[in-house]
Amino acid sequence: MTSSPSLSGVALATLLALGATAADAALPQLNGAPLVIGHRGAAGHLPEHTLEGYALAIEMGADFVEPDLVATKDGVLIARHEPNLIATTNVKDIPKFAARQRVAIVDGVPETGFFASDFTLAEIRELRAVQAVGVRDQGFNGRYKIPTLREVITLVKQKSLAQGRTIGIYPETKHPTYHKSLGLALEDRLLDELTLAGWNDRAAPVFIQSFETANLRELRTKTKVRLVQLVDADGLNPDGSLSFAAPYDKPYDWVVAGRPGLFSDLVTPAGLAEVASYADGIGPWKYYLQSTACKVVVAGACADANGDGLVNEADRTVLPASPVVANAHAQGLLVHPYTFRSEGSRLPLEDQGTPTNEYQRFYQLGVDGVFADFPDAAYAGRSMYLLKAAPVTYRRCLVKGTGCSR
Ligand SMILES: [Ca+2]
């Protein structure tokens, strides 16, 4: 199940036996072991938002898989990260769709491409997914279809039965204001699908997430499904402070409503109290919880500290953790940061190119789940964390991936 060489059956049994001699300490999580959330499926391994990617994430131990949602011209919810299909499908290579290319304004930003709302579901069925990240395996391009939300739910239910554990979905309403402006509002469509699945209730294995606030408030009046407020930023400054530039500076509904402020306002104690009035958790960019700073700064920018000729996250050093996890937990809010990626260029110096080190670092901060492009690494990191923190209590979670939450 895991890719970790250190978790062989013998080692696992030995550690479990050792752990059984000591009382388990309580975990810093709000509700049991942290969740492994397959980000866009298993986007590090297979093209994002495909049934094959979601299935792989589940086979790698993911507790939840994450379909981002956009609407087709005929109002069907499909799994895509962007309304613009150009980067994640082969649409630009299909001559019959060439005339569909145009400029659209998404959250105030003009984009050129092919937009889901210009395609019927029947036309979407003709497209195939591609790996959007150039350094990742391009060998699966052109093989897999673009799934509907309904197909994702069907897959997850089949996999839950087959694996004997409950696997959930973590749908994100993408650009809610934009979709409303097109007459393709996502919220009721999503709730209709959840109702059809028997999953429109508090106990459903579902979290709904959004970077906007107004649509979460609207959803709170319509459903008891758990809601998560995403908290974005634009980037990281050399000193580890977050930068804020449009369109990643604030929820787009705030722009429309003329509300001042930044995403960071949502993770102050007052902001968290506000979020707790309509949501069950936050999904912050991980640097809100523990940031990184340049090891060497030259002319106001990060320099190549590790001497590999590149300047990236591996040239940054981990800073002390912020109080955001504790403050969110004090409001009863779950904390599910994003996005964890296994490439060495994405890991700061202290993690030494080993993704399980980063996961353990965040699990030890008390995060309640992680959005992982490589769910196998998130699962392996969780096993290592639980073996140290609570091997007896979470034995079933360690061995079978069940009973991870209390
Ligand atoms: Ca470097």
160-181 mean pLDDT:
97
Task: Measure 345 CA to ligand 1 centroid, in angstroms.
Answer: 8
Band of the pLDDT at 403, cuts 50, 70, 90?
confident
Confidence band, pLDDT 50/70/90 cuts, at residue 4: very low
> Residue 287: is it exposed, middle or buried by C-beta count within 10 angstroms (0-12/13-18/19+)?
middle
Dihedral Cα 261, 271, 242, 240, nearest 10 deg: 150
Position 30 pLDDT exceeds 80: yes
Q: What is the mean pLDDT of residues 349-358?
A: 97
Tell me, in angstroms, the distance from the centre of ligand 1 to residue 319's CA: 18
Cα–Cα distance for residue pair 379/260, rounded to 1 Å: 39
What is the whole-number distance in angstroms between the Cα of residue 238 and the centre of ligand 1?
14
Selection from 279, 158, 163 nearest residue 212 by Cα: 279
Q: If you measure from the C-alpha of residue 349 to the centroid of ligand 1, how many angstroms do you get, rounded to a whole number?
A: 10
Q: Tell me the C-alpha distance between 236 and 243, whole Å.
A: 6
The answer to whether 227 touches 208, Cβ cutoff 8 Å, is yes
For residue range 214-242, what is the model confidence (pLDDT) as tens digits? 999 999 999 999 999 999 999 999 999 99
CA 337 to centroid of ligand 1, rounded, Å: 25
Distance 84 CA to ligand 1 centre (A): 32
Distance 311 CA to ligand 1 centre (A): 4
Q: Across 68-146, where does the E strand assignment appear? A: 68-71, 77-79, 102-106, 109-113
Q: Does the pLDDT at position 206 exceed 80?
A: yes
Residue 286 φ/ψ, nearest 5 degrees: -60, -25
Residue 137 CA to ligand 1 center (angstroms) comes to 23
Amino acid 5: pLDDT: 42
The predicted pLDDT at position 20 comes to 44
Question: Given a cut of 50, is residue 19 above it in pLDDT?
Answer: no
18 Cα–ligand 1 center, Å? 40
In angstroms, what is the span from residue 120 Cα to ligand 1's centroid? 45
CA 35 centroid distance within chain: 11
User: Looking at residue 14, what is its pLDDT?
Assistant: 54
CA of 280 to the centre of ligand 1 (A): 39
Cα 57 to ligand 1 centre (Å): 30
Distance from the CA of 316 to the center of ligand 1, in angstroms?
A: 9
Tell me the β-bridge partners of 210.
Answer: 229
Average pLDDT, rounded, for the chain: 94
State the distance from the centre of ligand 1 to the C-alpha of 315, rounded, in angstroms.
5
Quote the ligand 1 centre to 37 CA distance (angstroms): 29
- Structure confidence by residue, pLDDT tens digits, 90-132: 999 999 999 999 999 999 999 999 999 999 999 999 999 999 9
Q: How far is the CA of 313 from the centre of ligand 1 (A)?
A: 8
Tell me the CA–centroid distance for residue 355 and ligand 1, in Å. Answer: 17
Q: How far is the CA of 131 from the centre of ligand 1 (A)?
A: 25
Question: Which is nearest to 45 in space by CA: 35, 59, 34?
Answer: 59
pLDDT at 230: 99
Name 79's Cβ contacts closer than 8 Å, sequence gap at least 6: 49, 67, 68, 69, 146, 147, 148, 149, 152
Instruction: Say how many Å lie between the CA of residue 351 and the centre of ligand 1.
Output: 14
Residues 310-317: what's their mean pLDDT? 98
Side-by-side strand order, sheet with 64-65: 168-169, 64-65, 35-38, 369-372
Residues 282-290, mean pLDDT to the nearest whole number: 98
What residue ranges in 167-276 does DSSP mark as E strands?
Answer: 168-169, 172-173, 207-210, 226-231, 235-236, 242-243
